Amino acid sequence: MNTDFHKTIETIPVPENLVSAAITRGISDAAPRKRRTNRRHWLIMGAAAAVLLAGTAVIAPVSIQAGGIIPAFTQLLDKEMAKTHYFDDTMDAILGDLADTDNYHKLSVPAQEVGGIKVQPIGTITTAGVAAVIVDYTGPGIQPDHLRQQMVKVQQTNGQAIMDTNFNFGKIALGHYRQVIAFYTIGPDSEAVTGIKLQLTDINGVHQTVDFGDIPLQQPPMKDVPIQQTISAAVPFGGKVTGHLVNAKTTATSMVINYTTAFTMADGMTKKQISDYQQAAWISEAKLVDAAGKEVGMLQLASGGQFLNTKTTGKQVTTQFSSTFAKIYTTGAATKHKLTTAPAGTQVKFVLEIRGKSGHERQTVGSFTVPLKSLLEK
């Protein structure tokens, strides 16, 4: 984590005409990092509310913490009324300033009334592998403590359920709260994720489910980068595992890396060993190397090792995965730079890992080397 991040954000000026209203106070839940062992991938998920102190012209960028997004504002208090100090701004780097309503794709979804308040999705933000939906709550009876306890269910309209979502609220004005729900989309083709189904339950303390039906997601143009590289490594059980880097889907702020692993089920392999090789693989690390072979930084990870699907033909098992990265690289003490500023001739080494001999270990299969230039915008 960049411990100096929250010391500098309060000095970032933002024109007041970009801010829809002053958010006077926000409350966040900073959930611990979750390891989804049943799905064999780690996700950093969440959502955030932007915070603007009334009477000032300074706004803090929104940040995502491992396990949940929090506004990156040192004055912001969590639910125990204690300051939050742990920041991870990957989602902030990808989605940008959530206080700027000009960034939203506007929605025309009718408001629904629950317990005397109106609930209405007003916009979405999308990029490669990432999406957010913004929901407004208006009415005199809003209870912030109850809002924080509501349940959120998101499903892509292609049938894929989003298991990892988190959210937060910001107070816009008296009787007006805004919620941002952010999540990593699932699937090898981000452009194919054209909508979600949204359900909210226990709104403002009322035990009721509100279904907003299909909400469209307007995906930005994406660059499709075919890569087609293969590496293999011997493994403790079953001979070898072969990794294949298929392609990348990129936008100006993020990229989705699609890859597969394959192995042949050998005699004597246990069901657990087969399951480990079938469902678990990660590209969670990407090193930037200059033309002289010197490491110059690390690509900023958003989510690594997202399991997509698996196929068995005879004894051959092939599984598809994806990882999402921000178009940011870090150097030294987590200093961040745009990828466009990397030295000419820089290459990216995407490191592929699989389950090791024990459940707590990972084995490196090898790395795929891709010219950075090919991953940048045209």
pLDDT digits (tens, 9 = 90+) for 282-326: 999 999 999 999 999 999 998 889 999 999 999 999 999 999 999
How many C-beta atoms surround the C-beta of residue 229 within 10 A? Answer: 15
- Give the chain's mean pLDDT: 76
Alpha-carbon span 151 to 366, nearest angstrom: 41
Predicted pLDDT at 179? 84
Residues whose CB falls within 8 Å of the CB of residue 39, separated by 6 or more in sequence, listed in order? 163, 279, 307
Alpha-carbon span 59 to 202, nearest angstrom: 31
Over residues 321-376, the pLDDT tens digits come to: 999 999 999 997 778 899 999 999 999 999 999 988 776 788 999 999 999 999 99
Q: What is the mean pLDDT of residues 216-240?
A: 92
For residue 378, name the pLDDT band (cuts at 50, 70, 90): low
Query: Number of helices and strands (H, E) in the chain?
Result: 5, 27
Predicted pLDDT at 373? 95
Most confident range (mean pLDDT) of 81-85, 171-175, 304-308 is 304-308
Chain centroid to Cα 369, Å, comes to 24
Q: pTM to 2 decimals? A: 0.75
Ramachandran quadrant class, 78 (left: phi over 0; alpha: psi -120 to 50; beta: rest): beta
Closest Cα to residue 242, out of 259, 222, 217? 259
Chain centroid to Cα 373, Å, comes to 24
Give phi and psi for 374, each to the nearest 5.
-70, -20
Predicted pLDDT at 159? 87
